[in-house]
Amino acid sequence: MPETEPNGPYRVLARTYRPERLSELIGQDALVRTLTNAFASGRVAHAFMLTGIRGVGKTTTARIIARALNCIGPDGEGPPTPEPCGVCANCIAIAEGRHIDVLEMDAASHTGINDIREIIDGIRYGPTSGRYKVYIIDEVHMLSQQAFNGLLKTLEEPPPHAKFLFATTEIRKVPVTVLSRCQRFDLRRVEPAVLRAHLERIAAKEGFALEPAALDLIVRSAEGSVRDSLSLLDQAIALSDGAVRAADVKDMLGLSDRVRVLDLFELLLRGDSRAALDLLTELDDLGADPVTLVQDLLDLCHGLTRAKLSPEAADGLGLGPDEAVRARTMAGELSMAVLARCWQMLLRGLEDLRLAPSPMAAAEMLLIRMAFAADLPTPDLLQTGPGPAARQGEAPRPSPVAGPPTSRPETVAVAEPATTRPTPGGGFGPTMALAQPAARPEAAAVPAEPALAPQPGDLAEVVALVRSAGEPIVASWMHQAVHLVRFEPGRIEIRQEPHAPADLAARAGAALTRATDRRWIVTLVNEQGAPTLAEQAEQARAAALVRAAEDPNVRRVLDRFPGARLEDVRPAD
């Protein structure tokens, strides 16, 4: 029941309905079951690490544990219990935050080693009025490295009368040495159904009518946080006149702006640049920040992509029920390639906005690019052309033709005016219809066969092709540190020297594939293989020096100039 006095100051719902026992925690069944069994068996750990998003009950759970450890029952003789009585002196003092043996510290404002030293100095003394000394450190990840190090030894071997309760939203910032000394609990986001039932009970106790649609909007916006949901419900009750309506909640949460973002995204996908710019100007007049608007478009693109794979993901976009259905339909009509392209353009555009001297101008240029890119063919159509499935109910798109231009074109394509392509449920994107090429009276010219890419026949040719593919470093390593074991078309087996890069084979295979237009696989084996190209070149050089030294003319020159020696042999031009 609410604890607010009739004539006293108002207490927000998040404080009024804060759980006081483990059984009152919602959505954390594993934690409740584990702690209940630990209290029943007397196996309560000396340190707990509670982690999770904001508002799921980390600090509340820590306070419940502190009360459970020190509760003595109404008769003053009770043992530790997961269901504190709430009436004994210890329970009342802890609830009011004035118990001398329960120290609650905010690590965000007490980050240094001196704060931890105070805990270490005071932990040597036993409790004054309670059963245990309990130290609750909130946002523990904010402690400095020295503070964590100073806490380690005490945390590993604390006195029997001390308990540590840590809470954090950034568990990855807590050192592993601290985590290994704690019993960790990951508090989960509360399921929407559980949160909805909880809010319905509170609204009934407060005597307010709550429309189901308004409740759904609050639950969806809370994102699994109990505190956020209660804060939103508190705000909605203050906004309403006795009945919380969905329209009021939409205005309160700014969901109408999200609908405008959905409208803007749809205009961009239809290629209507003029209407998109008009809507952008309207939103700018209402005070919308261009950077925030592009971020909202990014979030929407991400949500539509998830909805493409899982339609129920559209419910997590923070839209109303009707708009969620609209988003789900939109996701079903868009291809994954179009969504991926929009994501990349928005992501790059967001960087431009942050660097541009005029974010509004950069936002306009981004929307124009997206609108004019709406009719571009996707990469798969550029490579292979539309398949049978893509041609059903869709006008043909132009595709680039490989090969050098001819001096006398055989056909001429004439573009007709742009028309809007109808799609079920309001499709997107204009398309250009191409006239069919006119038949010529003379016989059609036989197209020339495309030239085949060069194919290597040995390791030396492989090195040359890898170098031509823009990988000179890889080619150099293959020349100096690779022993050829087996060579087949499309497959090469090599042994490389230990000092060669570990990814040499993979990089060589990729470069060779690019250079030859066919797939090559380069694998590592343990066989001896042939000498490296560098060793072969050195052997050839040594043999050439021997042959040159045996030449009579060279011998006469060496005899004529004492001390001279043969350095190198080069072929004559």
Question: What's the pLDDT at 516?
Answer: 82
Q: Residue 443 — very low, low, confident or very high, per pLDDT cuts 50/70/90? A: very low
Q: What are phi and psi of 130, to 5 degrees?
A: -100, 180
Question: What is the SS3 string spanning 306-324?
Answer: HHHHCHHHHHHHCCCHHHH
Coil/strand/helix, residue 165 = strand
pLDDT per residue over 450-487, tens digit each? Answer: 555 678 888 888 888 888 888 888 888 888 889 998 88
In a shared domain, residues 283 and 347: yes
CATH number for the domain including 35? 3.40.50.300
Q: Does residue 403 sit within a domain?
A: no
- Edge-to-edge strands, sheet with 183-186: 102-106, 133-138, 162-168, 47-51, 183-186
Question: How far does the chain reach from its first CA to its final CA, in angstroms?
Answer: 102
| Secondary structure letter of residue 406 according to DSSP | P
| Token pair in block for residue 544 | 């050439």
In a shared domain, residues 33 and 165: yes
426: left (phi over 0), alpha (psi -120 to 50) or beta: left
Q: Does residue 31 sit within a domain?
A: yes
Amino acid letter for position 268: L
Among 333, 354, 375, which residue terminates a domain?
A: 375
CATH number for the domain including 356? 1.20.272.10
| Token pair in block for residue 270 | 């239809």
- 115, 120, 122, 128 alpha-carbon torsion, rounded to 10°: 110
CATH number for the domain including 473? 3.30.300
Burial 314-326 (b: 16+ CB within 10 A, else e): bbebbbbeebbeb
- Burial bucket for residue 401 (CB in 10 Å: 0-12, 13-18, 19+): exposed
Residues 6+ apart with CB under 8 A from 487: 458, 459, 493
Among 167, 186, 205, which residue terminates a domain?
A: 186
Q: Is the pLDDT of residue 272 over 60?
A: yes
Q: What is the average per-residue pLDDT within 118-129?
A: 90
Q: Is the pLDDT of residue 382 over 90?
A: no
Alpha-carbon span 35 to 45, nearest angstrom: 10
Q: Residue 406 — very low, low, confident or very high, per pLDDT cuts 50/70/90? A: very low
pLDDT per residue over 6-24, tens digit each? Answer: 556 788 898 889 999 998 9
Alpha-carbon span 189 to 276, nearest angstrom: 37
Alpha-carbon span 92 to 555, nearest angstrom: 110
Q: Does residue 523 sit within a domain?
A: yes
Question: What's the pLDDT at 467?
Answer: 85
Alpha helices in 410-482 (DSSP H): 459-468, 472-481
Which of 124, 418, 415 has its CA nearest to residue 271? 418
The boundaries of the domain holding residue 526 are 459-530
Reported for 362-365, long-range contacts at CB under 8 A and 24+ positions apart, including other chains, are 362/290, 363/280, 363/290, 363/293, 363/294, 364/277, 364/280
| Secondary structure letter of residue 39 according to DSSP | H
CATH number for the domain including 233? 1.10.8.60
Q: Is the pLDDT of residue 398 over 70?
A: no
Q: Does residue 214 sit within a domain?
A: yes
Alpha-carbon span 180 to 200, nearest angstrom: 40
Q: What is the average per-residue pLDDT within 396-418?
A: 37
The residue ranking higher by pLDDT, 396 or 384, is 384
Q: Does residue 138 sit within a domain?
A: yes
In a shared domain, residues 134 and 201: no
8 Å CB contact between 384 and 378: no
In a shared domain, residues 226 and 264: no
8 Å CB contact between 442 and 450: no
Q: Does residue 408 sit within a domain?
A: no
In a shared domain, residues 249 and 262: no
In a shared domain, residues 196 and 59: no
Nearest-Å Rg of the Cα atoms of the chain is 37
| Token pair in block for residue 52 | 């999770």
In a shared domain, residues 289 and 311: yes
Q: Does residue 293 sit within a domain?
A: yes
Q: What percent of the chain has pLDDT over 70?
A: 83
> Which helix or strand (DSSP H or E) is residue 58 part of?
helix 58-70
Partnered with residue 339 across adjacent β-strands are none
In a shared domain, residues 263 and 342: yes
In a shared domain, residues 243 and 339: no
Among 253, 270, 295, which residue terminates a domain?
A: 253
pLDDT per residue over 214-234, tens digit each? Answer: 888 888 888 889 999 999 998
pTM value surpassing 0.75: no
In a shared domain, residues 263 and 246: no
Q: How many domains does the chain have?
A: 4
In a shared domain, residues 60 and 145: yes
In a shared domain, residues 166 and 198: no
Tell me the angle at which helices 472-481 and 459-468 cross, rounded to the nearest 10 degrees: 160
Amino acid letter for position 72: I
Q: Does residue 474 sit within a domain?
A: yes
Cα 38 to Cα 34, 82, 158, 162, 243, distances in angstroms: 6, 9, 19, 17, 44
Q: Residue 522 — very low, low, confident or very high, per pLDDT cuts 50/70/90? A: confident
pLDDT per residue over 370-380, tens digit each? Answer: 998 887 776 65
429: left (phi over 0), alpha (psi -120 to 50) or beta: left
Which of 416, 453, 413, 454 has its CA nearest to residue 432? 416
Which of 479, 481, 559, 490 has its CA nearest to residue 520? 490
Chain centroid to Cα 40, Å, comes to: 41
Alpha-carbon span 432 to 57, nearest angstrom: 57
Which of 213, 219, 286 has its CA nearest to residue 247? 213
